[in-house]
Amino acid sequence: MSGLKLFHATNIGVTEVMPRLADVEADVQDLIEAHMDTMLGVRFLASEYVINCVGGGRIDSLGVDENFAPVIVEYKRGTDAGVINQGLFYMAWLMSHKDAFRSLVRDRLGVTAASQVLWSAPRLICVAGDFTRYDVHAVREHRRSIDLVRYKYFGSDHFGLETVASVTGHSAEVRRVRRRVPGALPVRHRGGAMAELAAAVDEVLVGLGDGVTQVQRKQYRAYQRLRNFACLIPPQQTKVLVYLKADPTAVDLAPGFTRDVTGLGHHGTGDLEVQLRTERDVERAQDLFRLSYATA
């Protein structure tokens, strides 16, 4: 069980708000599907999606995340040892029926979105009342990107989500994509000073805490927990750009270092642009990196 405790504070004291499970699984599914972008960073596509295969089945929710990776979301009211294997079964079906998923994306989001689906990084998100240590161990043994997310209701109007485990897939397909994608971010000691700086930023972002995963696209590298919190752009000639999910209005902007790009088109996600030119800039930006990480 989660160690989180929630209290209602008044001027005469505090009262603990006891956590509870949903009355039925559908309550959790309906709530998350209605607010999936806000809660999971996933654009909702379909509910109870019927798959055509031996034994059949229905995928609880289908969507695409901020990097256009396909996402399967499975829900369980309480603790259920079968949720991971069930989700992986659906994932195998999805990877064998890419045209069906592209058609769904095209119908819901348009032709351009369908052409951007990132098949190298499909994700499974399992939302349940709780997970066992065996579940956490199991996801680390698989070669897919899996997030285990614990939910709880608190009182009548509070709903909490907590990431229990988050594992990045390391399939052969992902490795091949990383080798051939033009513009992929360089490793340390390759490509000059800005490449060195990008490698230093990469180390800092990955090291912010447990469960940081990376997704490589042609235009950027995303860093996510459950959702993106930073996007690192391939280094330019004189600077490295990082886009963060931190609220620009809550930051003291410094010309030449930070910029509010709300409403401005750019690669990656996030409205706070950080411009890095030296290792000292990376140190200066670490509080902003942590602030954005805390929001994911």
DSSP codes joined into one string, 175-215? HHHHHH-TTPPPPTTSSSHHHHHHHHHHHHHHTTSTT-EEE
**What is the rounded distance in angstroms from the CA atom of residue 93 to the CA atom of residue 53?**
8
Report pLDDT for 191.
56
Q: What is the pLDDT of residue 178?
A: 39
84 CB burial (10 A radius; 0-12, 13-18, 19+): buried
Tell me what pLDDT residue 39 has.
Answer: 95
- pLDDT score of 23: 94
CA atoms within 13 A on the CB side of 220: 22
* pLDDT averaged per 10 residues, the chain (length 296): 77 91 96 96 96 84 96 95 91 94 97 94 95 90 89 91 82 37 45 88 92 90 93 94 94 95 92 96 95 89
Report d(CA 192, CA 276) in Å as an integer.
Answer: 15
90 phi-psi bin (left φ>0, alpha ψ -120 to 50, beta other): alpha
pLDDT of 171 reads 44
